[in-house]
Structure 1
């Protein structure tokens, strides 16, 4: 009877401890534990229980240790109930395990990928095979609602259903009713006087929608986008003299049905200030004149925050070139509110000169360290040089192997004149396998296959195979590039290729030109932007006769044979500082190449020069120019090979004319191209209406001029064809697409007109 009472009292105490984790007034007399038994286990190993208990067999048990044991077992998160019972000097641990999650599913979730949602839940511990935790389920539900709010789906509802199944398991189902996204119906800017409300709203990426809102989603509210738009608004005012401009408040109101959003921005413009003077104070290392040349703040002009920021950054960077990594430059404004003028004092303190002790690289799990280190222009144990560090960062970024490249500077403990550079990279997939089809107005259906690896085994080398089956150009190409064939950066390129082409409209003919060859090319970097290429190749070109073959081809084949071998040597130069290769808005690109046939059946020289310039007019509009010159000539007593002729007309040259149909024709009326070519293009590029400032979808107006000339023809500008038109540029998932509608403004009899043209993967 005494033993039963003791057991009842401990059971009561243990239940209360389990609820409150504190000792109760009920107590058990201390005793020595002779044995410990565990009851209620299904999946948890007994060792997990024993390892968590604060006592062992042979230890003295008391109420304090019992409370600690219950807290420890609950802390494991594996049990929903824990009790301790005493039977004589035997301690019995009774547990009830939490159910295990058997499956997690999402019903009605269309805005997010289910696998991505499951991965997110797995990261917080809510996944198959783990104990079910109601707290985690509630947290997941709230996070899911928050993500829908970020997508402007304010009416989204999430219901969590827990379904018990056999063997103490549960199925977890999140049922989502997404509803319609809330859309911005009104954007108001209050307090503006100097600029119209429509002008200021035009700075925003957020808008009230247009015919392309389904693509841009610009009418869906996002706090991050609104903050970016407010910064654009602030920058607009601060760059136009409004030194004391401020955004007082923003109100975002949602309608009762959670479908319409109104945004109101309250601003205070302040007065417009003009810069009266700029003075330098502090230590400028005796190079005051050099620093003065970096000042972009101009007295007599309206205050411009961009110029102030550019000047202080230029000063800091210039100090960095001399090793002063910790230079402090402050632009102090002195405001004259009576006359609306402001003067600036540029105060500089270079602090101490620093060396770079170590360069640490992290995040390159696949790419070898040497691939990154060979791009560095800042070296260890050398003076800290801001220009070289930035250049090193840019060179690593241009490799194309990383989604993100950041450089951080950290002090060295105990060494005030030393710093470490920490380079952090985030790798991205560098291989691609593509199977696809394309269609253009000139080449109809084209099937393609390619396998490319830009970073083979993390070595930085490129390997690629391309196959194309278009109507006019069939290719099989193998490329291998070693960008550091030598330690000082000379690249080596190996090409193996077979190209079969019909470079103009043949009116049903079945002849073609087939070229098979192999080439070896080296690239020598002469500066950070300039590279010179030279190499050679062996080619075999065959003129395959067929119906409607041009007389010029027959004449060349009858004189020199239907098969020609050549040993062309190539030399070239390139410089490219555009801000993007796909959708550039600033910068310049130049390319010059020459090919000389020095041996074999074909003896010739063929050269080509291309120039592109992009001029940003403002945030939205870009002016672009393109020019291309081609020139070829036969060597010795041989004419220029007809299969090396240039062609013009269509996308990539003069739009509005049929692809490759400009220039000389033979007696059959077929276009045969020529050894001289000139092309000039001008475009003004703007965002597509309704697409906001999205650079992936843009429209453009253009003017084109150009032609191809025969070897004995005079190059006269009066013979150039010209056209004007408008077009659409879209960086689509399958590549850059350009659609052009052109109207020839200078044409001649016999020219083949094609007013609507499109193609994927072309420029200009």
Structure 2
């Protein structure tokens, strides 16, 4: 006896033939990819059971409901129950074309979250789900004119490929944003807080007027923060209406707000298990009685308390601010409830992402030790030290509880490495050096050891340099560094528009850096340099007279000493901290000539916002001869002018000039300073390798400190761009000299391309 299959939808509504039989065996037919064990797991009947014909719909529904099958038939042959199945095809691949705004990997992630991915079962209705999910992704980016076409291509072994062709169209443009219900702040002020809106005609790089759901949400949060930080604790966003024109090209946004009344702080108190004197804790609170209520100050107070407890092992201290609102007087009383939790210790530190760097190299920078008491201060310091390594781009540290322990945690240190080793062969151009050729092997992280090795050859119309430089930052276990530098340099100044001479330098130096504290380092070095000079075709009097007095070959024995203080958060485009140093270079007795040079520099980085950094630089350098040497040699004088000195003036063109040739001679005393604002390029806001700046430069070089005159300082203002490109650092500046004198050589546009340093 046999009975026909019933459609799943109809099976429960049709009366099956009466009767039953005992199942001797169950036979599955039509399976290709799905295993029999999977089917048996879903079957509601089993071998040896009495099967009632009325159970047929239940069997069909159970298997059809898995979504694995497009057809389910059930038969009886003797006492064998036969289940005949047709599997749905599996998705072999999903291919995209035409997408540029949203990357393919991002689209695939979104589809996977919606249950659509390679290897999963394909259903016809999945195409609608797929299309709707993709539309949601593009609508969120303001692409309301997007068109999505899908094609299903059958493949052998019951598989399909899904081809998705996307025509993204143009992003909807925001034509107007209106805030309704505001009284405390002018609408123009509130609109200026938003990341979306109309833009000025000259701001051609901005995407501010391009709609994005994520940026609108971020803007609304910023708007809410403005009110909550200024006492409006009952502020509410009543609604946000986004109107789209019929052609889907333009948008109008209306934001309806309820401000409420402005509240001040009546009382601030602490409660709970404090552990520390209340007076000490109260000093950490940023919000005070009598002030306007501010959510930011509340959160800053919580953070300050958590840092105190975290510095002493309480990694999971819970600080809960509880407000009591007096609606009649418009005052808020705040109580910070403190639950420090248990004191915890660091069990293990795991490094993640260090594919090219030894874990020991990273571990030696950690100030938080395994087995030590947890300290947020030491963890932050460890993060800062790791970020300052030239081969590390970014660092993130997570705290994870140890399973089965309530007083231990592990630290997971996620690092993102920079490309630290390279073979370079480049051609560049500099307005000072002309065409430059560079080749070399450079590694800031040689074989993952953290040591630096540089083998390079650089040639230009002025300088040719062959150099081998090796630095071990941990020459001793205590962090004393040692560097070895060997070099040969040929210099021909005829093309540099300064005093004319040729010089060949051969030298070596060994340097040490001795850490005195976390941020202070004592530097010491010794070395030897031989300099052979010849006069050019148009020599200056200062060159010929110096050679007449001291000869043309100079054997120089060098001693160096210095002290540096460095609190920068990173070495590449720092955004906070200070870097300053005092250095002395002494050409010792026994040398052909004897002289010394002293220099001091100070660089200050001030975070003004999340994207804007204030930069202040100052430099003072002085040199002089001693023990019978009357002045600095002409080949080791200071020069000023150009980028990095005083932009807007030609390189090395400022200061004293030869009375006969009129060429710059350099000087014994140099002073420069700069103030600027550094920010990401508006057209590359997410790039870590490009920065722009507005700057003011001032400085000059003088024959000696006695000849310094403030009215002889030159100054300029300008716009600069720096790009750490794959071929080397690129620098551009447009500067306007503010007080150029007759005879000064000015240069509005200056640049360096592809020159390594």
Determine whether 1:653 maps to 2:645. Answer: yes
CA drift at 1:644: 2.0
1:655-685 per-position Cα deviation (integer Å, ceiling 9, x unaligned): 2221111122223222121222001223356
Is the alpha carbon distance of 1:125 and 1:509 closer, same or farther for their aligned partners in structure 2, counting shifts above 3 Å?
farther
Determine whether 1:305 maps to 2:295. Answer: yes
CA RMSD for the aligned pairs?
Answer: 4.6
After TM superposition, list the pairs within 5 Å mapping 1:437-516 onto structure 2.
Answer: 437-448=427-438, 452-465=442-455, 468-501=458-491, 506-507=496-497, 512-516=502-506
Instruction: Find the counterpart in structure 1 of residue 239 from structure 2.
Output: 249
After TM superposition, list the pairs within 5 Å mapping 1:112-261 onto structure 2.
Answer: 112=102, 134=124, 139-164=129-154, 172-211=162-201, 215-261=205-251
Deviates more, 1:184-193 or 1:689-698: 689-698
Deviates more, 1:357-366 or 1:441-450: 441-450
Distance 1:23 1:601 in 2: 113
CA drift at 1:633: 2.3
Instruction: Find the counterpart in structure 1 of residue 664 from structure 2.
Output: 671
Deviates more, 1:672-681 or 1:233-242: 233-242
Is the alpha carbon distance of 1:587 and 1:239 closer, same or farther for their aligned partners in structure 2, counting shifts above 3 Å?
farther
Distance 2:440 2:179 in 1: 51
The alignment partner of 2:638 has SS state of: coil
Determine whether 1:721 maps to 2:713. Answer: yes
8 Å contact kept, 1:327–1:348: no
Is the alpha carbon distance of 1:533 and 1:626 closer, same or farther for their aligned partners in structure 2, counting shifts above 3 Å?
same
Determine whether 1:606 maps to 2:597. Answer: yes
Determine whether 1:425 maps to 2:414. Answer: yes
2:561 to 557, 563, 571: 571
Instruction: Find the counterpart in structure 2 of residue 743 from structure 1.
Output: 737
Which ranges of structure 2 fall in alignment gaps of 5 or more residues?
42-46
1:728-755 per-position Cα deviation (integer Å, ceiling 9, x unaligned): 446575656442221332x444221223
8 Å contact kept, 1:18–1:81: no
Distance 2:511 2:50 in 1: 84
1:318 to 308, 311, 315: 308
Distance 1:481 1:412 in 2: 42
8 Å contact kept, 2:432–2:496: no
1:291-334 per-position Cα deviation (integer Å, ceiling 9, x unaligned): 34333334554334333322232122212333334444344445
CA drift at 1:761: 9.6
Instruction: Find the counterpart in structure 1 of residue 676 from structure 2.
Output: 683
Determine whether 1:644 maps to 2:636. Answer: yes
1:189-242 per-position Cα deviation (integer Å, ceiling 9, x unaligned): 222223222222222232323457664422222233223323333333344444
Distance 2:255 2:494 in 1: 58
Deviates more, 1:488-497 or 1:82-91: 82-91
CA drift at 1:353: 4.7
CA drift at 1:546: 4.1
Instruction: Find the counterpart in structure 1 of residue 44 from structure 2.
Output: none
After TM superposition, list the pairs within 5 Å mapping 1:235-384 onto structure 2.
Answer: 235-275=225-265, 278-281=268-271, 284-285=274-275, 287-333=277-323, 335=325, 340-342=330-332, 344-345=334-335, 347-349=336-338, 351-361=340-350, 363-364=352-353, 366=355, 367-384=357-374
8 Å contact kept, 2:387–2:570: no
The alignment partner of 1:153 has SS state of: coil
Deviates more, 1:508-517 or 1:73-82: 73-82
CA drift at 1:177: 1.6
Distance 1:67 1:510 in 2: 102
Distance 1:407 1:250 in 2: 36
Distance 1:322 1:396 in 2: 22
8 Å contact kept, 2:429–2:754: no
Is the alpha carbon distance of 1:311 and 1:602 closer, same or farther for their aligned partners in structure 2, counting shifts above 3 Å?
farther
After TM superposition, list the pairs within 5 Å mapping 1:13-92 onto structure 2.
Answer: 13=5, 25=16, 29-30=21-22, 49=35, 54=40
Distance 1:350 1:114 in 2: 46
CA drift at 1:156: 0.7
Distance 1:689 1:425 in 2: 29
Deviates more, 1:336-345 or 1:384-393: 336-345
8 Å contact kept, 2:462–2:492: yes
Is the alpha carbon distance of 1:154 and 1:455 closer, same or farther for their aligned partners in structure 2, counting shifts above 3 Å?
farther
CA drift at 1:182: 0.9
Instruction: Find the counterpart in structure 1 of residue 397 from structure 2.
Output: 406
TM-score, structure 1 normalization: 0.81
Instruction: Find the counterpart in structure 2 of residue 626 from structure 1.
Output: 617
8 Å contact kept, 1:608–1:629: yes
8 Å contact kept, 1:52–1:73: no
Distance 1:207 1:513 in 2: 61
Is the alpha carbon distance of 1:311 and 1:17 closer, same or farther for their aligned partners in structure 2, counting shifts above 3 Å?
closer
8 Å contact kept, 1:124–1:136: no
Is the alpha carbon distance of 1:739 and 1:321 closer, same or farther for their aligned partners in structure 2, counting shifts above 3 Å?
same
Instruction: Find the counterpart in structure 2 of residue 536 from structure 1.
Output: 526
